Amino acid sequence: MSIDSHRSRRRLGSAAGGAEYFHIGAVPGTERLPLAHKIMLENLLRHEDGDLVTGADIAAVAEGRTGTHEIAFHPSRVFLHDTNGVPVLTDLAALRDAVAERGGDPGAVDGAIPAELTVDHSVSTDFFARPDAPRLNVRREYERNAERYRFLKWGQRALSTLEVVPPGAGIMHQINVEHLARVVEVRDGLALPDTVAGTDSHTTMVNGLGVLAWGVGGIEAEAAVLGQPVSLLIPPVVGVELVGELRPGVTATDLVLTVTERMRRLGVVGSIVEFFGAGVGATGVATRCTLANMSPEFGSTAALFPVDDRTLEFLRLTGRREDHVRLVEAYAKEQGLWHDPDRRPCFDRTLVVDLDGITPSLAGPRRPQDRVELAGTGEAVRAALAELGRAEEPAPAEGPDASGPRDGAVAIAAITSCTNTSNPAVMVAAGLLARNAVRRGLGVAPWVKTSLAPGSRVVVDYLERAGLMRDLEKLGFGLVGYGCMTCIGNSGPLAPGAAAAVEDRGLVAASVTSGNRNFDGRVNNDVSLNFLASPPLVVAFALAGTTRVDLTADPLGTGPDGEPVMLADLWPTEAEIEEVVSAGIEPSMYTEVYGTLFDGDENWRGLTAPGGARFDWDPDSVYLQRPPFLELAAERGAEGAHGDIVGARALQVLGDSVTTDHLCPAGRIPADSPAGRFLRERGVEAPDLNTYASRRGNWQVMKLGGLANPRLRNAMTPGLPGGSAVDLGPDGDERTVGEVHAVADRHRDRGQPMLIIAGREYGTGSSRDWAAKVTSLLGVRAVIAESFERIHRSNLVGMGVLALQFEDGDSAGSLGLTGEEEYAVTGLEGRDEVPERLSVTARHLRTGRVTEFTVRARVDTSREQLYYRHGGLLPYILHRALSEPGRARD
């Protein structure tokens, strides 16, 4: 219980059932705090114990001491998906084993707060453009993943607070927005804000409802499930004032891509973005959620909207109970969380976004922040092809009648992901555009793989009610399943025409998706150019068959009458879209879909799962193996004073914007890759290799795939694809190039610790804890980069890997570092905490040249210091479970 030094505990009143709450206004000077800081302040008031949370912490938030004061934030629940949830459970199962093997009670490792896990990342687009595609894709999903799903069922039984949403229900974030999000809830008679730590970076989507939520790595999520607080420096808040309204023909996606571009230019990493102003009221909840979903693409921690009448309307529309809606309204108004268009909080920085100025856009071909005006798409593609050394080709008409695909051809056109399929306006626009195209006699080129994978089952309900599904299906945009699918790389094989062109003549293929990430190689290993676009533009580019086109001036194709058909001829009016949306969606659609959310289909119900407090590992399993992280930490001398890192070698020297997709194995497992060979040696046939995401429960597979993305560029091996590394031998007088895992093993066998050297924005992208886990497995002790993305930096520390940042102005290039040096990181020896700055000495192995420089240790909070001192989060939890029985969950 809180010691409540501010006497802030009050009773909310009859409108909210008489619940009690901790009143933010009891703390002086909080009237002009940003909403995010108000929610954090309430969290501290409720958890004030004089130890983890003190009066000084409360004062620091009230005074707006951002970026300098650390607080312990306790999320009210944890949100997981299967590909991160399985590793979380394997870690917790290994923890239970370790506790039992040391004479403790394995049940001490248990959930302390509610946790929900949605199985949405495992279904692939193997079958498409056929009516039975969803059934066949689900069947393949269970054939590939039944073992993992049984393990999830074991976890649900073993952990008292875990609930699992079975496959086929939709994408976690859209389910969160449409059903799971509380906004405000009453727990044990106490009203409190719904706050979420989620293992997917797009957990922020629910920020559109006024829920403070952000993505954490699986490592932080494990701690949160066990009741550990999320430790963070009070984040700066950037206010984004929305003014005006979107013009006709401009979609929420266009707005999102514009804001993403501007946020990246502004630089909001480590900050919370908060929307305010009169334009908020003109922005519907669906558009708010579309914006909030893209927070990680901004680089921000969260992207928060206030609660207002539109929020309440959305809650009613999606079938929430009326008494709950009244609770949300009463609490938000009482706590000052209700939207006031005239209120201007004290933000660290502000930015104005004029909605009237937004224009149709795409983003690509490699990053979400690289916005391209629709009219400039063709030029952007030609520039990208020139960078790849592709000579300019004649541009034949690349429509359904063309003989074959050319560079820039659309190989994948996918309406996919939570970002845009949560928004009925853009989904209906896609359906209406498809209807108009069918009426004009247009079709899709045979090399284009088309698919529809919405984030919610409700999407298909309202499209069918409007009669639009049949037109989408005629263009190949039939339902393929409910899950992330193409957006996370589960795109399945390309259409035969495109696949043959890539293999036979090196076609530079393109994708156009309605997803949120387009990093090189993410969507499909064989697709080099990737664009993000609104669902109607995905349909339009599928019709065009190529990205090397200006859709504002060039025809999409030619109708049966021989006349060119322009995009403007097909684009629906705002009135048409609104008519379908208003007539097609009602609360009963949501209550029917979500009434059986946790039941699953016959496939799920038919899965048998083991019981018991400890999981019975199968040594022959190719999906689930007990992870060795506790043993590795013990080998490195964890739980004690830190030691210097001496005699270290560089495993990789990398550039800017290295993503977690580059570091963490992602996408399908190629048969000729190290992981593919490993699995085939164990009897797995090539068609059954599945994806890396599905095998995150097998640390051996993940280690073999780590740092092996073909698009990763190691400066030590110029001209070679990712996955290569250099062994300079014991004395530096050799040079052997090999696969990164093999080189890492040789270094480890010789007792040589390893480093990674990188540029700016290291670890950008998804919150993949395996990007840090494979780094640790390969024997890397520290990463020295110019800057880090927030989640990955924290994950590295949680795995016992030092995150070190070059001083401003320093870089590998400016210091002349090539990776052919022997490194010593000093200043750690004998210390209980990692100091703010450390010294690095790099001695070139061949010339003997010595370079000395200073780095900042990015162990940012005392909680991270605690984890690093023990060798990582898992050793710390083990220590706590054994030294303080019964308190591992506190």
* Model confidence at 520: pLDDT above 50: yes
For residue 856, report the phi and psi dihedrals to the nearest 5 degrees.
-90, 130
| C-beta of residue 245 within 8 angstroms of C-beta of residue 358 | no
pLDDT tens-digit profile of 355-392?
999 999 999 999 999 999 999 999 999 999 999 888 76
Helical (H) or strand (E) element with 20: strand 20-22
Domains, the chain, ordered by start: 77-357 (3.30.499.10), 361-572 (3.30.499.10), 640-664+713-869 (3.20.19.10), 666-705 (no CATH)
* pLDDT band at residue 401 under the 50/70/90 scheme: very low
For the stretch 413-459, pLDDT in tens is 999 888 888 899 999 999 999 999 999 999 999 999 999 999 889 99
pLDDT digits (tens, 9 = 90+) for 524-535: 889 999 999 999
Q: In this predicted model, what pLDDT tens digit does every residue of 632-682 receive, in sequence order?
A: 888 876 544 578 999 999 999 999 999 988 898 877 899 999 999 999 999
- Per-residue pLDDT, averaged over 857-863, amounts to 91
Using 50, 70 and 90 to split pLDDT, how confident is the model at 882?
Answer: confident
Helix (H, G, I), strand (E, B) or coil at 691: strand
Task: Tell me the pLDDT tens digit for each residue of 283-312.
Answer: 999 999 999 999 999 999 999 999 999 999
Percent of the chain that is helix, strand, coil (3-state, to 5): 40, 20, 45
The predicted-structure confidence for 563-591, as pLDDT tens digits, reads as follows 999 999 999 999 999 999 999 899 999 99
pLDDT in tens, 1-32: 899 999 999 999 776 678 999 999 999 999 99
How large a percentage of the chain has pLDDT more than 90? Answer: 76
Answer whether residue 717 shows pLDDT above 70.
yes
When pLDDT is averaged across residues 747-764 and rounded to a whole number, the result is 95
pLDDT of 46 > 70? The answer is: yes
**Residue whose C-alpha is closest to residue 854's, from 820, 887, 805, 821:** 805
User: Would you call 434 helix, strand, or coil by DSSP?
Assistant: helix
How many angstroms separate the Cα of 236 from the Cα of each of 200, 340, 844? 22, 21, 41
The yes-or-no verdict on residue 397 having pLDDT over 60 is no
Residue 493 confidence (pLDDT) above 70: yes
Query: What is the per-residue pLDDT across 588-626, written as a single tens digit (0 to 9) for each?
Result: 999 999 999 999 888 999 999 888 999 999 999 999 999
> Which pLDDT does position 768 carry in this prediction?
77
- The residue with tokens 């000052």 is 336
Q: Are the C-beta atoms of 109 and 888 separated by less than 8 Å?
A: yes
pTM of the model: 0.87
DSSP H or E segment with residue 172? helix 172-175
Stretch 343-362: mean pLDDT: 96
pLDDT of residue 133: 87
In which band, very low, low, confident or very high, does the pLDDT at 400 lie, cut at 50, 70 and 90?
very low
* Residue 197 phi, psi dihedral angles, 5° rounding: -110, 120
Q: What is the DSSP string of 710-731?
A: TT---TTSTTSPTTEEEE--TT
Q: Looking at residues 87-105, what average pLDDT do you find?
A: 94
Phi, psi of 60 (to 5 degrees): -65, -40
Return d(Cα 819, Cα 650) in angstroms, integer.
5
List the end-to-end C-alpha distance of the chain, in Å, as a whole number: 13
Higher pLDDT, residue 123 or 393: 123
Whole-number Å distance between alpha carbons of 431 and 26 = 51
Mean pLDDT of 22-48: 97
pLDDT digits (tens, 9 = 90+) for 140-174: 888 888 999 999 999 999 999 999 999 888 889 99
Residue 126 predicted with pLDDT over 90: no
Identity at 717, one-letter amino acid code: T
C-alpha of 409 from chain center: 28
Report the chain's mean pLDDT, rounded to a whole number.
92
